Amino acid sequence: MSKFKKKAAVKQEIPTSSMPDVVFMLLFFFMVTTQMRETSINVKQQLPEATQLKKLARKSLVAYMYIGEPKKTDQWGKEPKIQVNDVFIEPKDVIQWVNSEKAKLNEFERDQLTVSMKVDSEAKRGIIADVETELRKANARLLLYSTLQRRVEN
């Protein structure tokens, strides 16, 4: 006498006819939300964490700057470097870069340019302060230190 009954002779297949629809839905979602990265980042980017995060209102008014130790240390050394677009720049070139970013905007929006600084946690204050001094000279004074959201435990 077996304890196990024979399997009932019912169909046990999951209907797969709607799978393409589901997949297409996901596909469209990702197609719409995806944004191709224009530049490849050549510096380390381990962003610090913070709690009081603000969102940027308009992305067209944002210029991005990346600071951190270069990924190719044998070529560029270990000192943190500043990357904008696809090139490394020195602090003295910041004004020129800000002006070229401002030139892309409409005239009435130029004073609303926000610089989003994506700085690696390990980078030192010195290089950032140099950049800030140049940004003040270039009159691009809205600044955002890009950070991640810290999980608060409570």
> Residue numbers of the site for other proteins (CB under 8 A)?
16, 19-20, 23-24, 26-27, 30-31, 33-37, 47-57, 59, 62, 79, 114, 116, 119-126, 128-129, 132-133, 135-137, 139, 141-149
Closer CB to other proteins, 41 or 105, in the complex: 41
How far, rounded to the nearest angstrom, does the alpha carbon of residue 33 sit from its chain's CA centroid? 14
Rounded least distance, CB 6 to other proteins, Å? 33
Q: For residues 109 and 122, which CB has a smaller minimum distance to other proteins in the complex?
A: 122
Q: Which helix (H) or strand (E) holds 98?
A: helix 94-103
In angstroms, the CA 12 to CA 57 distance is 51
Q: Shortest distance, CB of residue 9 to other proteins, whole angstroms?
A: 27
- The least CB distance from residue 72 to other proteins, in Å, is 21
Q: Which is nearer to other proteins, 104 or 136 (CB)?
A: 136
Are 131 and 68 in contact by the 8 Å Cβ rule? The answer is no
Nearest to 143 by CA among 109, 119, 108, 107: 119
CA–CA separation, 64 vs 83, rounded Å?
9
